[in-house]
Amino acid sequence: MSILSPKSKGDIGEKFVVKHLRHNGYKILRKNMRNICSEIDIIAYKSDILAFVEVKTRTEGQNIPAVYAVDLKKQRKIISAAFKFISDNKLKNQPRFDVAEVYLNKITHKVESINYIENAFTQGGNYGVF
């Protein structure tokens, strides 16, 4: 059993989420978009939905849901980066903030499951999942 670096684990999760979004009719606008505010893992578009997606990849068997890693400080950074992206690109869409929890098999490092949470948090910094 090899141990994956956090970056490798994250890359596996992000690639899987991109496939998941495309399969569900989303167009991927940007991946790993960085600006002065923060980094956004995936920006996806479908109809009039502009989804800013934070991907959290974990090994199966961890007791704490991955969504909890997106704390208030991280939410604020993502929200700031999203509004900068919207402003810079002169978009009119309301943003939606999603979190994708990806769980990998401990041995094979293959994706075991995904929990895609739409509206996981709001501009007011509240979790939408509770």
Structural domain boundaries of the chain?
6-121
Q: What average pLDDT does this structure show over 7-16?
A: 92
pTM: 0.90
Q: What digits encode the pLDDT tens for the residues 28-47?
A: 999 999 888 789 999 999 99
Query: How much is the pLDDT for 5?
Result: 85
Is the Cβ–Cβ distance between 42 and 30 less than 8 Å?
Answer: yes
The pLDDT score that the predictor gives to residue 130 is 38
Which residues are CB-contacts of 114 (< 8 A; sequence separation ≥ 6)? Answer: 16, 17, 20, 100, 101, 102, 103
pLDDT digits (tens, 9 = 90+) for 76-111: 999 999 999 999 999 999 899 999 999 999 899 999
**Residues listed for the chain:** 130
The CATH code of domain 6-121 reads 3.40.1350.10
